[in-house]
Amino acid sequence: MLPFEFYNPTRIVFGEGKIAELDRLVPRNAKVLVLIGGGSVEKNGTLAEVRAALGTRAYSIFRGIEPNPTFETLMEAVAQVRREGIDFLLAVGGGSVLDGTKFVAAAVPWSGDPWEFMVDHGKNVKTALPVGTVLTLPATGSESNSTGVITRKSLKAKLFFASEATYPVFSILDPAKTFTLPERQVANGIVDAFVHVTEQYLTCPAGGHVQDRFSEGLLSTLMELGPRVLAEPDNLEVRANIMWAATLALNGLIGAGVPQDWGAHGIGHEITALHGIDHARSLTLVLPALLEVRFEIKRAKLAQMAERVLGIHEGTEESRARAAIFRMCTFFESMGCPTRLSACGLDAAAIPPLLRQLEAHGMTAMGEDKGQTLEVSRAILEAAL
Amino acid sequence: MLPFEFYNPTRIVFGEGKIAELDRLVPRNAKVLVLIGGGSVEKNGTLAEVRAALGTRAYSIFRGIEPNPTFETLMEAVAQVRREGIDFLLAVGGGSVLDGTKFVAAAVPWSGDPWEFMVDHGKNVKTALPVGTVLTLPATGSESNSTGVITRKSLKAKLFFASEATYPVFSILDPAKTFTLPERQVANGIVDAFVHVTEQYLTCPAGGHVQDRFSEGLLSTLMELGPRVLAEPDNLEVRANIMWAATLALNGLIGAGVPQDWGAHGIGHEITALHGIDHARSLTLVLPALLEVRFEIKRAKLAQMAERVLGIHEGTEESRARAAIFRMCTFFESMGCPTRLSACGLDAAAIPPLLRQLEAHGMTAMGEDKGQTLEVSRAILEAAL
């Protein structure tokens, strides 16, 4: 096990009807900005519940944070916060709204151009407005981590930042709020959470017994309940378990003390930035190919996953490891997520621009061993065609 | 899954040599009281490391917090804190020192008799001095929860309290600090952590997929590494994994959203209070008998444990469940912990006084269904003879 520091002060308030708890959780004298996305929370009644819970508190609404939230849009929210003297941000939506709200929280007290802290990934962000969240889409784990991923349209750049100052103060997770999600978003969310786990688990072996077991527990849960939620969309218990699994997939716990490999996210972000492909799908396009190209460093953990998650005990370590990749692809496809670039209309011509983007963003030595160079990323993309 | 709130702001700083981080973690102008137990940290060099890391900060030492820390001793520490104007408490030791330090933290600002907040289990504790910890004995999880268990000798009472105000601000977990522990304490610690997991897992089924998987992961880890640490006491990786597993066994995570049954602890505390038997051993005396007496409510989860943790797939649900209890007893005995009261020199005459203690402390309706009445506790103790 590696040395680590684990700190996660976000208060999770979980259960049906918990939006009413906003009255306890938001300071009574707060001046609140409620940030939302494209308006689904207005149509399905979630925003009305939030309004009711906020009661007589002063609040404004900021609408229009898009999937893959943009710097350009969020700077409008920053201006509104400064103009109106807002002192509490309440994000109501999925990972994009939450990520965007964290950016606003850090940008408001930032004295220079906030893009500065995106470029150095939040290293110098020491203060931020308090953020609360009401999560409507289990996927990114943003409700219980300090990270935000922001796209700057004008630069075609998608970068992340993180800071201890941007952990949400609280996050309300009401699984009943996920009933109205389109099936595609449900499936994408499950796949996104699944890939988050693999990126902290499918590395070189590292002796983290508990971390491995927890990761395997999350993978088992998502592989079992992913198909079930599509078959039984009205099952609250299935929804609840998926929601909690997605949070725990990226709250820092399973990655504490073990190496991590965010190489699939590295390439995936560029695919989304250049081609507008859903985030989750950008990952399923890349991850299986990455595991094939990087097979030697991944084989032991893949074989362990085959045994413990998939119940595959027969065959050599190599054959079990290959079977794990195969079964992962089957799972992704069953969730409607393609595992071949060609299925998204991309061919070999798409590769050089993606590599140029990786180079421009310094993503030239990814993976737990820094071994995913540009040449390796090229091989991964070629294997994914 | 049940609705829940999960909040745990303790910063975990994990790894060999991490005591040096005290210089970053303790405020530079703090007036510190370092609280220790019987002096082993003075003999083995841990306290010297702490002193070096505290550097020029003003600090005093409070010595002599005993196993099953007593109100009587801790009130001396409270007096010292008030006398010297201490504003930061640093616990260096195992669960007893940590529990006792949390009590001191809450008692100092308490205006009345601090036993008042023990009697109502900390419900009204709203403020406490900040506590940091340096853990030397993995067992109780006290390093990452808000609970303290305190004994009042004059009343032969062992009660718990918990408050959000008494989460440690940080806890340093250096697994190398556990090398000098006596084997009996190592074994007791593993068993204590194991029982913590069962008390949040072996209940009526509750649909917590992730909680179940995480609990099973901790049980697997402890059952695998318990015998290994006795066989390979110098293996740092084994020590590290046990330490992290014990923390996660009782930091609130695996119990969030599922029912809990603290009935074995309820009886165990009385056994320790009346007979001075080690805490962990008081639990192994009670838990198997409790699972037998309460078999009907426990059978489904016991059978699940048999399958997922012990690899027992044959037989009926009942036979798998009984096998899980049997294998648990084997595990406890392999760790040197008895599973029969008679092995500790206790016979039927010991039962009525224990029941009177339970009644006096209101422990008359324990378990996830409140079904562990005094009569059921009597049956458990009789089954444990």
Query: Which band of pLDDT confidence, cut at 50, 70 and 90, is reported for residue A376?
Result: very high
Q: Which tokens hold the place of B275?
A: 């007979």
Angle in degrees, CA B200, B204, B206, rounded to 5: 80
Contact assignment for A216 to B213 by CB distance below 8 Å: yes
State the Cα–Cα distance between residues B131 and B128, nearest whole angstrom: 8
Residue with tokens 């009177």: B356
- CB of A60 closer than 8 Å to CB of A33: yes
Model confidence over A160-193: pLDDT tens digits?
Answer: 999 999 999 999 999 999 999 999 999 999 999 9
Q: Is the pLDDT of residue B158 over 90?
A: no
Contact assignment for B241 to A2 by CB distance below 8 Å: no
- CB of B105 closer than 8 Å to CB of B90: no
Model confidence over A263-281: pLDDT tens digits?
Answer: 999 999 999 989 999 999 9
Q: Is the pLDDT of residue A57 over 90?
A: yes
- pLDDT attached to residue A157: 84
Q: Confirm or reject CATH 3.90.1150.10 for domain B11-177, answering yes or no.
A: no
What ipTM was predicted for this assembly?
A: 0.97
CA distances from A15 to B36, B89, B132 (A): 41, 36, 32
Task: Suggest the residue from B213, B215, B225, B308 to mutate for an interface test with chain A (most A CBs closer than 10 A).
Answer: B213
CA A250 from centroid of its chain's CA atoms: 7
Q: Confirm or reject CATH 1.20.1090.10 for domain B183-383, answering yes or no.
A: yes
Looking at every residue in chain B, the average pLDDT score rounds to: 97
Give the chain A residue nearest B13 (alpha carbons). A5
Backbone angles phi, psi at B131, to 5 degrees: -120, 130
The β-bridge partners of A34 are A61, A90
Q: Looking at beta carbons, which residues of chain B come within 8 Å of A256? A: 12, 14
Q: What is the pTM of this model?
A: 0.97
Contact assignment for B209 to A216 by CB distance below 8 Å: no
Chain A CB within 8 Å of residue B219 CB: no
Query: Which band of pLDDT confidence, cut at 50, 70 and 90, is reported for residue B372?
Result: very high
- pLDDT attached to residue A208: 98
Q: Is the pLDDT of residue B181 over 90?
A: yes
- pLDDT attached to residue B156: 81
Model confidence over A187-228: pLDDT tens digits?
Answer: 999 999 999 999 999 999 999 999 999 999 999 999 999 999
- pLDDT attached to residue A156: 81
- pLDDT attached to residue A130: 98
Helix (H) or strand (E) holding B58: strand B58-62
Query: Which band of pLDDT confidence, cut at 50, 70 and 90, is reported for residue B237?
Result: very high
Average pLDDT over residues B74-82: 98
Q: Looking at beta carbons, which residues of chain A come within 8 Å of B218? A: 210, 213
Looking at every residue in chain A, the average pLDDT score rounds to: 97
Backbone angles phi, psi at A349, to 5 degrees: -65, -20
State the Cα–Cα distance between residues B191 and B172, nearest whole angstrom: 22
- pLDDT attached to residue A244: 98
Model confidence over B312-365: pLDDT tens digits?
Answer: 999 999 999 999 999 999 999 999 999 999 999 999 999 999 999 999 989 999
Domain boundaries, chain B: 11-177, 183-383
- pLDDT attached to residue A220: 98
Instruction: Report the interhelical angle of B279-293 vs B374-383 (nearest 10°).
Output: 100
Lowest mean pLDDT among A53-62, A67-76, B105-114, B150-159: B150-159
Residue with tokens 């990455």: A290
Contact assignment for A210 to B6 by CB distance below 8 Å: no
Model confidence over A122-150: pLDDT tens digits?
Answer: 999 999 999 999 999 999 999 999 999 99
Average pLDDT over residues B177-206: 97
